[in-house]
Amino acid sequence: MSPESERTGQLRQHWETELQTTAVILKEPKKIGLDVLGVTAPTANDIVVKVSHSGISTGTEKLFWTGEMPPFPGMGYPLVPGYEAAGEVVEAGPDTNFKVGDRVFVPGANCFDGAFGLFGGACSLLVSDAARATKIDAGLGAEGALLALAATARHAMAGPQKAVPDLIVGHGVLGRLLARLTLAAGAPAPTVWDINPDRRAGAEGYEVVHPDDDPRKDYMSVYDVSGAEGILGQLIGRIGKGGEVVLAGFYTGAVSFAFPPAFMKEARFRVAAEWTRDDLVATRALVESGNLSLGGLITHTLPAAQAAEAYPIAFNDAHCLKMILDWKGHA
């Protein structure tokens, strides 16, 4: 037996009869609760993470909650939701660069017996390939679970031939992070739109207005994070000649627009994809240096035992920017 096989075997033997997790289970649309699941034993490349906090996404997770998610590879019910988890390493395989006690961010896991793990972060304990995890400052606490959202905002903005926004549509967590990153880049403060008066508070260094109160029609870089139906056609009328609209939300239906106005503006369109590991690393550096704050984004926190209450609040309460599940006390 090779040394690698022997190390993997030792890990499997250590955990084989012990490893279970308490997880949020979405059994079918709008039917959610906690259950205990078996977890796949780790290999030499894996870490075992005791989760302290996990976030609820009001974009993709809401679509699973309502049953409106279009067909997606690896999806199905029952599933463990959540791709925003922060916790502590309690076991590190010999082929990883982690050690017990490291605080990490993990973008979910697929390690469960009896449930799909397309996301898989809303649980008390998970096993993950170490390459997917990112070490974070131990002082981040619950805000450590926000790293993926911040990396999503960074990915939309960073890189060649990308411009920082001068208009952001939507003042939820992602819109606020885009605005903060714009200011951190030393760019002029963007304008932010939100039709909900409850969402227009909390701006620091930029203005949030209702679109009807903004007469401007010469924006050159518009980022939409609202995901609103029909939004693209509205935004074409607000850009200058050669302006770009970046679709950074999630759109369940067909995205369409009338051609003549876009033709006259010579409009450009870009779809912002998911973050990469480079985005995670760069975003972590921004947070740790103090150039990007994650403060003030978590408005609601509930114990994981109250998950059945937390999800409807996260999806339906306009005052809830970000709901965090607290897993402390769960085995």
Q: Do 110 and 178 lie in a common domain?
A: no
88 and 172 belong to one structural domain: no
Nearest one of 136, 37, 34, 18 to 88, comparing CA atoms: 136
Within a domain: 290: no
Could you tell me if residue 233 is inside a domain? Answer: yes
Long-range contacts (CB closer than 8 Å, 24 or more residues apart) made by 280-284:
280/105, 280/134, 280/147, 280/148, 280/151, 281/134, 282/151, 282/154, 282/158, 283/147, 283/150, 283/151, 283/154, 284/105, 284/134, 284/136, 284/147
Kindly state whether residues 304 and 192 are assigned to the same domain. Answer: no
Do both 189 and 228 map to the same domain?
yes
| pLDDT mean for each 10 residues of the chain (331 residues) | 50 61 93 94 96 92 82 79 96 96 95 86 96 93 95 93 95 97 97 95 96 98 92 96 94 88 96 90 95 96 96 92 92 59
Quote the pLDDT of residue 1: 47
Domain coverage including residue 113: 3-135+299-326
**Same structural domain, 188 and 79:** no
Whether 182 is covered by a domain: the verdict is yes
Q: Quick one: 310 and 210 in the same domain?
A: no
Q: Is residue 211 part of a domain?
A: yes
**13 and 128 assigned to the same domain:** yes
Number of structural domains the chain divides into: 2
- Indicate which CATH number applies to the domain containing 192: 3.40.50.720
CATH number at residue 310: 3.90.180.10
Name the E strands within 184-271: 191-193, 207-209, 219-224, 239-247, 268-271
Q: What is the pTM of this model?
A: 0.90
Position 146 in a domain: no
Tell me whether residue 221 is in a domain: yes
Indicate if 159 and 124 belong to the same structural domain. no
pLDDT at 292: 97
Q: What is the pLDDT of residue 119?
A: 87
Q: What secondary structure letter does DSSP report for 100? A: T
Is 249 within a domain?
Answer: yes
Is 11 inside any structural domain? yes
Residues 213 and 258 both lie in one domain: yes
